[in-house]
Homo-oligomer: A and B are copies of this chain.
Amino acid sequence: MNESVKNETELESLGEKGNNSEEIFNGLILHVFRDKVTLPDGKPAVRELIRHVGAVAILPVTDDGRVYLERQYRYPVGKVITEVPAGKLDYLGEDRLEAAKRELREETGLTASEWIDLGEFHPAAAYCDEKLTLYIAKGLSRGERELDEDEFLDVFCVHFSEIFDEVMAGKVTDAKTQTLILKAAVYLGYLKR
């Protein structure tokens, strides 16, 4: 058993070779494909996957340690959940920081003078190519929000400690929100070794 962490790169012995990609569904947000692949042992297999344009998620933090969050009804899980502001790129390859600035402004009315990149995030690498970039936004100024026509969400503001406790208690189930709050807790010095 190997004892070291390698970087997340191509490892020849585990890789799969894609031979053929069939489009199954070209929806408004879901783009579903069925690809024929060759497994590492040479056998054929099928991989079903969603292709996604990519997304950004932002934790806006005030100078006195409060954060802005959203409550939004998520139809697939059938309830209102707590999330950090987030949104899809407008097009494949869009500058992610620009997308983050736009999504933060549209959903919360906030602009920020300082942006900290907390890294990448694959929500469901087994069946979706979506990649999010996670940001902390600081130096906040308030403005007017501009929601999309079919977007309904409540914005609210709490002390960081409150949402951190909710994450640890399992009351925040959204994936990107859990990771971003926890990473920010370390980054902002709220948690120490």
A15 near B174 with CB under 8 A, answer: no
Distance in Å: Cβ of A138 to nearest Cβ of chain B: 18
In the assembled complex, how far is the CB of residue A19 from the closest CB belonging to chain B, in whole angstroms? 12
Whether B25 pairs with A32 at a CB distance below 8 angstroms is: yes
Are the C-beta atoms of B8 and A173 separated by less than 8 Å? yes
Interface size on A, residues (CB 8 A): 97
Q: Does A111 contact B (CB under 8 A)?
A: no
A43 and B151 CA atoms in complex are apart in Å by: 12
Q: Who on chain B is nearest to A187 by CB?
A: B168
CA distance A37 to B39 in the complex (A): 40
5 closest A-B pairs by CB: A119-B170, A182-B182, A74-B125, A191-B191, A2-B156
> Apart from A1-B156, A29-B127, what 20 extra A-B contacts exist at CB < 8 Å?
A3-B156, A5-B82, A11-B73, A11-B154, A14-B153, A27-B34, A28-B46, A29-B126, A30-B50, A76-B127, A77-B129, A81-B125, A121-B173, A122-B174, A122-B175, A123-B175, A125-B174, A168-B183, A178-B183, A191-B193
